[in-house]
Amino acid sequence: MEHKLTKHSSGATRPVLTVVMDGVGIGRKCESNAVYVARTPNLDRIMRDYPTVTLKAHGTAVGLPTDDDMGNSEVGHNALGSGQVFAQGAKLVTESIESGKMFASGTWGWLTDGVRESGGTLHFLGLFSDGNVHSHIDHLKAMIVRAKKDGVRRVRVHILLDGRDVGETSALDYVLPFEDFLSSLRDGSFDVMIASGGGRMKITMDRYEANWAMVKDGWATHVLGEGRQFPSAEEAIRTYRDELSVIDQDLPAFVIARDGEPVGPVKDGDSVIFYNFRGDRSIEICRAFEGGENFDKFDRKRVPAVRFSGMLEYDGDLHIPSRYLVSPPEITNTMGEYLTGTGLRIFAISETQKYGHVTYFWNGNRSGKFSDELEEYVEIPSDVVPFEQRPWMKCAEIADRVIEALGSGKYDCLRVNFPNGDMVGHTGSLDATVCAMEALDLQLGRILAAVDAVGGAAIVTADHGNADEMAEIDKKTGEEKRNADGSFKAKTSHTLNRVPCVIYDNAHAVDYAVKEDRGQFGLSSVAATTVNLMGYEKPPMWDESIIEVK
């Protein structure tokens, strides 16, 4: 299939920049909304003086099962980059389990046959919540029930505590009922228990190779059974909270032990399922299991001979992992394919924390470039420090490179992700997130001046909400929940709020009209809007543009 754009009748051509303010939604005007509280004169000005619509960035608008499901950066950038909505990981896995397709797959049979034949253990490792961004605890439960039905005799569960996509101190709300669930299954022929765990931002779930030490610590905990020992996950969580006063995502690693021996290290003959469905924080632990003798990221000390599978294939180009339970969505006809197919030049940039979002996810879960000649990707290395301690992150350095790229005249279509609102928002620190928004706004002003200097246009938007709701909300009263000392009960997860989309254009705005915002637009409308602003018609399979060319 030829991926080539057709010029539209206006004949206008100009560089177009898409600015993704990651995690910046439109929330209530209140003290716990860091976007509202922050001093952001540039964002305020463009939302007041330029055409602005709101985009749906969660639920069915980004391919998730229901509109109760918050959006995330992965599915958001898939929609931004493809101009379409594809059924995403959570929905695919749920449908595969409910239909029985997962358990009829060759991979499930290979995993369970292996432990039946060896007398080994079936291990489940993944994020332990119902946040439905990286995983869902119901998927884990369904697989454990099926494993027992299929004659598996021993199961161990390695839990990565959330506190990010769900309440910041909600771990026991999942652990205690789950222990009851395991007790209901446990009998003389089925031995099942939690074996290890730790906070998702401390072990295992690193991404984009920002901090391999997290994966090393996870390997030691889950595979080797090394670390501080506790008789139960509940006691580990309560002890760490008392000692350290940290939220769930930052809880240190723990190992469950009996008589000084870990109950579930991974051994030869075992099978391991990494049950997250989202790819970015899954790839590195998969590489550790499947890296073979050439793996050089850390000393694994002992590499057991196991059968390993992911929930999905997390990288379709590099085929990571080599075995998986559910086929990922096939995302086709992306913006990158059409722009390069037309001979247009692309520039994409972010810092490490979101670099994969403007490249891999934007391109439909595809590694690499569509054209080495036409595309330039720039990664600014992220600082390896807690984000609340440096909330400006790398926004100034990112802006420097965007301004340089605009001024060079080399690029037709540019995209940038500023991670501040999301990564700092996830810490739960309102003060730090306000600082993050103010730092971002300074750079937004610099970049928009550069857009004007080259006669270009910009789309200023976001991929989902986060910084716009920094406190837990009481569903009955609609008010912020507060701690005993009167402070807000911090919210660290994404929101269900819509996100802004500003069409900033001081050069060619007379060539088109911005359509009335009737709530019909989602993130997938940005692709068509981008190519229309560049002077081209959208491909027929893309969703509706926000503008109408005169």
Q: Does the structure show a pLDDT above 80 at 328? A: no
Q: Answer whether residue 246 is part of any domain.
A: yes
**Domain membership flag for residue 275:** yes
Condensed to tens digits (0 to 9), the pLDDT of residues 5-36 reads 999 876 667 899 999 999 999 999 999 999 99
169 and 311 both lie in a single domain: yes
Q: Is the pLDDT of residue 73 over 80?
A: yes
The residue written with tokens 């979002």 in the block is 357
pLDDT bucket at 542, cuts 50 / 70 / 90: very high
Asked if residue 5 is part of any domain, the answer here is no
* Three-state DSSP state, 59: helix
Assess whether 186 and 37 both reside in one domain.
Answer: no
Domain end (from 326, 350, 380):
326
DSSP-assigned letters across all residues of 390-419 = STTTTHHHHHHHHHHHHHHT--SEEEEEE-
Q: What is the pLDDT of residue 478?
A: 80
Q: Give the list of residues 6+ apart from residue 235 with CB closer than 8 angstroms, or none.
A: none
Q: Is residue 11 part of a domain?
A: no
Question: Is 9 part of any domain?
Answer: no
Residue 494 falls within a domain, yes or no? yes
Helix, coil or strand: residue 228: coil
Residues 31, 172 within the same domain: no
The amino acid that residue 38 corresponds to is: A
Q: Please indicate, yes or no, whether residues 304 and 337 belong to a single structural domain of this protein.
A: no
pLDDT at residue 71 greater than cutoff 90: no
Statement to judge: residues 344 and 306 lie in one domain: no
Q: Which among 326, 357, 372 is the end of a domain? A: 326
Average pLDDT, the chain: 95
Are 57 and 103 members of one domain?
no
Confidence of residue 358 (pLDDT cuts 50, 70, 90): very high
Give the mean model confidence (pLDDT) for residues 517-524: 94
Question: Residue 11's pLDDT is what?
Answer: 62
Residues 287, 168: one domain? yes
- CATH number of the domain that residue 454 is part of: 3.40.720.10
What pLDDT score was predicted for residue 327?
Answer: 83
Q: CB atoms < 10 A from the CB of 195, how many? A: 26
| Percent of the chain at pLDDT exceeding 70 | 99
pLDDT reported for residue 486: 86
Are 104 and 38 within one domain? no
**Distance between CA atoms of 214 and 203, rounded to whole angstroms?**
4
Q: Are 404 and 388 in contact (CB under 8 A)?
A: no
Q: Residue 353 sits in which domain range?
A: 16-86+331-549
Query: How much is the pLDDT for 80?
Result: 98
Evaluate if residue 529 carries a pLDDT over 70: yes
Quick: pLDDT tens for 401-423. 999 999 999 999 999 999 999 99
What is the domain count for the chain? 2
User: In this model, does residue 1 exceed pLDDT 80?
Assistant: no
Check pLDDT > 80 for residue 278: yes
Taking residues 429-437, what's their average pLDDT?
97
- Above 80 in pLDDT, residue 475? no
170 and 67 both lie in a single domain: no
Quick one: average pLDDT of 41-64? 96
Q: What is the mean pLDDT of residues 91-98?
A: 93
Domain membership flag for residue 543: yes
pLDDT, tens only, 339-353: 999 999 999 999 999
CATH of the domain at 210: 3.40.1450.10
The pLDDT of 265-288, averaged and rounded, is 95
Banded model confidence at residue 316, pLDDT cuts 50, 70, 90: low
Mean pLDDT of 376-388: 95
Q: Which of 301, 326, 351 is the last residue of a domain?
A: 326
313 in any annotated domain: yes
* Judgement on whether residues 413 and 528 belong to the same structural domain of the protein: yes
pLDDT (tens digit per residue) in 97-134: 999 999 999 999 999 999 999 999 999 999 999 999 89
pLDDT level of residue 317 (50, 70, 90 thresholds) = low
Query: Which residues are part of the catalytic machinery?
Result: 73
Same domain as 112, residue 77:
no
Structure tokens at 77: 């950038």
d(CA 373, CA 370) in angstroms, rounded, equals: 9
Residues 75 and 95 in one domain: no
C-alpha distance across the termini of the chain, in Å: 29
